[in-house]
Amino acid sequence: MGRFLRMAVDRTLEGRTSELKEYLLGVEVFDRKPSFDPRIDPIVRVEARRLRSKLQAYYEGDGRNDSIVFEFVAGSYAPRIHRREAEIAEPKLAPAPPAAQQVPTVAVLPFANLSGTADHDYFSDGLTEELIHALTKVNGMRVVAWNSAVRLRGSEPEAPDAKKDERDALWERLLVANVLTGSVRISGCQLRVRSQLIEKETGLYLWSETFDRQMQDVFAIQEEIASNIVRTLRVQLTGGDTVRPRLPLAPRPASLSSYDYYLKGRYHWHRRTPADLARSIQYFQSAIETDPGSALAYAGLADAYTLDVEYGQTHPAIGIPKAKAAAQRAIEIDPHLAEAYCSLALIRGKCEWEWEEAEALYRKSIALNPGYATAHFWLGGDCLAMIGRLDEASAEIETALDLDPLSSIMHECRGLIYLLRREYLEAIRCCREILEFDPSSYRPYAAMGRALSLEGRYKEALEMFEKARAMEEQIPTILAAIGQILAFTGDRDGARGVLAKLEARARERFIPSTCFAVVHLGLGETEQALDWLERGCDEHEMSMCSLGVHPIYDPLRGEPRFQGLLKRLRLDRIRR
């Protein structure tokens, strides 16, 4: 890391920032071979992110009194060098060439609902998400994804000082230059939207406007806000040369009532609880009934059905055909809708095991909208990782994190890649980092428990899984992991008690077969474990797709029946 910083600072002081390219850094700093391909090996991006974190920690601690600050912004390997109170005079540094100019970056914070009733939260959040969607389609601009934006609720740059520490911690991770904030007030058919674009570092307003319109004008308001942002940032940051619209800003729904149902569906879909997923399906269906030509509603319905299956609420045989039909219909209606291709890709890969087609669909989604973080994330974690292409998977996940830096589930997926590489200590480190900024989620505790278990640290692993279970008692994979650890530590009665609980739950709802398999595996009951895995394969359960790469199944790799499973899953060509 010291070599990285030294080279970056030296080249910047010499006015040679154009040389700070990913390939050169990989070869000269990280000793990669001349065949190094940054698209496959993410070492430079990973270490740049770590360096930013280390510098931040240093300037908050031992370096708090340093007068000169070295700062790396996302998207550039050339450091900004400035004094704490004022920027260094320009003559001391050679000017950066145009190629090194900073990419315009924007975070759209959730618009505040000032209507006096929580019933309109869905509308203000929906307007926010649609603005993000519109801005990701602007060439040359980086826009923070919804998952990160929603975590910034209430942390605007002009927020009260009482929130300063929390706000600053979030913004340091986010690394954006500009923030769009706003509010929505609905009174009958009247709609008031106030929006302002703020420069994060200075708090200066770059643009501000209030729209007083009728509800049916919401689509025009969205486009006008997005167009003003594009125009402002083009002049402010790029001189009008690099930011150009690539496609129409957003697909237009045919009716306001359909769009209203769609926003409610997305609102509940983002909450991800079983009850909310059920509500989101109902709202998307209502949107389609109101407007059968709404590609957005069909894409939303596909996502809702798929997550309902992946979270174990619906049997694959029931949910997946519905999800696939909805995704295909969305594509028929709007062949340029990136979300629809991404939804279909997840199904074709994790449910139907057509991995090559799934990859092509993900790449089609990314080609239509390179700023769609979910497409990069699912391509990396749910496709490339499952077929053993871990370096490529890691690169896609790093891209997703650049777009959605506060998404704990994407950070967790980075840890998963380490786990699949059998680098358990690195996986544990990733989980600890997640808990620093998102301690409210059960997922990092469960992920850390799995890594600790694979390290043989069963007591610590059990503590992590128990913490996860205390937060989400109904997640069957957590209970199964606890059962396996009990078996590993010699508590066979406890493990069989877990199996009994899983069997009781299975009489009331769908429980993935892998939950039973891992407990039997812990008990050393290989044949029973294989019985359950074969059953899961018969049912096309989504959790089966990790069999080719996950270390939990390493004890079975020499079994002919297991090899047969890999062949059925089209995962038999994986080489580690």
Q: Is residue 129 part of a domain?
A: yes
Both 38 and 143 in one domain: the answer is no
For residue 151, give the nearest of 135, 174, 131, 180 by alpha carbon: 174
26 pLDDT more than 70: yes
Which DSSP symbol is given to 87?
A: B
The percentage of residues in the chain with a pLDDT greater than 90, rounded to a whole number, is 43
Q: What is the CATH number of the domain that holds 237?
A: 3.40.50.10070
Q: Is 375 exposed, middle or buried (0-12, 13-18, 19+ CB in 10 A)?
A: buried
Indicate the pairing of strand 178-187 with strand 105-108. Answer: parallel
Q: Is residue 389 part of a domain?
A: no
Q: Is residue 407 part of a domain?
A: no
Mean pLDDT estimate for the chain: 82
pLDDT of residue 419: 97
Both 58 and 167 in one domain: the answer is no
Confidence bin at 497 (pLDDT 50/70/90): very high
Confidence bin at 5 (pLDDT 50/70/90): confident
Q: Is residue 324 part of a domain?
A: no
Q: Which of 97, 116, 140 is the last residue of a domain?
A: 97
Task: Report the interhelical angle of 424-437 vs 443-454 (nearest 10°).
Answer: 160
Strand partners, 213: 191
Strand partners, 106: 143, 178
| Identity at 243, one-letter amino acid code | V
Choose the weakest-confidence range: 2-16, 309-323, 332-346, 467-481. 2-16
Q: Which of 62, 97, 132 is the last residue of a domain?
A: 97
Residue numbers of the domain that contains 566: 474-576
Both 230 and 195 in one domain: the answer is yes
Both 62 and 142 in one domain: the answer is no
Confidence bin at 561 (pLDDT 50/70/90): very high
153 pLDDT more than 80: no
pLDDT in tens, 217-242: 776 776 777 677 767 666 554 555 44
Both 92 and 188 in one domain: the answer is no
pLDDT in tens, 454-491: 999 999 999 999 999 999 888 899 999 999 999 999 99
Task: Give the residue, 270 or 445, on which the prediction is more confident.
Answer: 445
Both 28 and 114 in one domain: the answer is no
Mean pLDDT of 23-49: 75
Confidence bin at 25 (pLDDT 50/70/90): confident
Both 75 and 131 in one domain: the answer is no
Q: Which secondary-structure segment (H or E) carries 359? A: helix 355-368
Contact 366, 372 (CB under 8 A): yes
Q: What are phi and psi of 444, to 5 degrees?
A: -65, -30
Both 91 and 112 in one domain: the answer is no
Task: Give the residue, 497 or 243, on which the prediction is more confident.
Answer: 497
Q: Is residue 410 part of a domain?
A: no
pLDDT of residue 310: 85
pLDDT of residue 89: 38
- 162 Cβ contact partners less than 8 Å away, ≥ 6 residues apart: none
332 pLDDT more than 80: yes
pLDDT in tens, 395-453: 999 999 988 888 888 899 999 999 999 999 999 999 998 888 788 888 899 999 999 99
Task: Give the residue, 550 or 215, on which the prediction is more confident.
Answer: 550
pLDDT of residue 242: 47
Q: Is residue 259 part of a domain?
A: no
Distance CA 515, CA 521 (A): 10
pLDDT of residue 95: 40
What distances in angstroms separate CA 564 from CA 254, 533, 534, one per listed residue? 50, 11, 9
Q: Is residue 492 part of a domain?
A: yes
Q: Which of 231, 250, 269 is the last residue of a domain?
A: 250
Distance CA 496, CA 299 (A): 42
Both 114 and 217 in one domain: the answer is yes
Task: Give the residue, 385 or 509, on which the prediction is more confident.
Answer: 385
Q: What is the CA radius of gyration of the chain?
A: 25
Task: Provide the number of structural domains found in the chain.
Answer: 3
The percentage of residues in the chain with a pLDDT greater than 70, rounded to a whole number, is 80
Both 149 and 234 in one domain: the answer is yes
Q: Is residue 268 part of a domain?
A: no
In angstroms, the first-to-last Cα distance of the chain is 28
Burial state string for 399-423 with b = 16 or more CB within 10 A and e = fewer than 16: bbbbbbbbbbbbbbbbbbbbbbbee
129 pLDDT more than 90: no
Q: How many Cβ atoms are within 10 Å of 3's Cβ, its own excluded?
A: 13
Burial state string for 173-211 with b = 16 or more CB within 10 A and e = fewer than 16: bbbbbbbbbbbbbbeeeebbbbbbbbebeeeeebbeeeb
Both 109 and 246 in one domain: the answer is yes
Both 6 and 61 in one domain: the answer is yes
Task: Give the residue, 313 or 550, on which the prediction is more confident.
Answer: 550
